[in-house]
Amino acid sequence: MGFRTALSKGLLNMSEVRQELKAQVELFHELTGHLPPHMDGHQHVHVLPEVRHVFAEVLEEYGIKYTRVPIEPGLHNCDWIPPSLMDFYLGVEEDSFNTVDVFTKHGIRWPDIYIGLSTMGKNMSVSSIWSAIDTAILEVTAKAASPAHPTPPSRTVTIELMVHPGYPSVPPVGGCGEGPDDFSQSWERLHELQTLVKPELQSHYKSRNIQLCSFKDL
């Protein structure tokens, strides 16, 4: 949140943001021997005003083709999300809508569907993931349909499911930036991990012809 506050006060130098982005890409390349196939910002900072332009230019410069655009279908109907958190999510959504043209201009792509805000942490379950996928696919197919062709042609639809599986951090180790935050230290990380490996979820993917993949497979 400090990053957003600094940006709103005009305290961020975009040349330094560019320098930091490039340094992270270069370090990734040094450590792995290849460029990342996908790149986004922690807490979705890559879609913020000003930042979105620098971010897109850096990705285009390095030939990184994929990013995240966190616009989740059905988000407005998720009444289990606390109001304060929903306000943050809706702010992210607005920034994302304003970013689409910027990313498109620079030839950057993203999956057809983004899911993850409504199924994060304690809200994740096999049924909530099923429901989020079904809601999103219905919305995408409805947009693809037309009066002349009420049933859109079948095609492959790509979905990003944002997850945070892992084990609770124990201070001072772990987390991002200055150490583990509340979420990093919570049981919710392990809950996500246990949910994502449940056999019934894997069976659902198979029955729906959903293939798990990474961005490099797209």
184, 177 contact by CB (below 8 A): no
Q: What is the pTM of this model?
A: 0.88
Three-class DSSP labels, 57-110: HHHHHHCCCECCCCCCCCHHHCCCCCHHHHHHHHHHHHHHHCCHHHHHHCCCEC
pLDDT of residue 148: 58
Q: Along the 218 residues of the chain, how does pLDDT read in single tens digits? A: 789 999 999 999 999 999 999 999 999 999 999 999 999 999 999 999 999 999 999 999 999 999 999 999 999 999 999 999 999 999 999 999 999 999 999 999 999 999 999 999 999 999 999 999 999 988 888 877 666 556 555 778 999 999 999 998 888 887 766 778 888 888 999 999 999 999 999 999 999 999 999 999 98
pLDDT of residue 50: 96
pLDDT of residue 147: 63
pLDDT of residue 171: 84
Which residue is associated with the tokens 């655009």?
69
Q: What contacts 215, CB < 8 A, 6 or more positions away?
A: 37, 38, 66
The enclosing H or E element of 202 equals: helix 199-207
The enclosing H or E element of 182 equals: helix 182-185
Give the torsion through C-alpha atoms of 161, 166, 172, 178, to 10 deg. Answer: -10
DSSP state of 177: S
Largest CA distance in the chain: 60
Is residue 114 helix, strand or coil?
strand
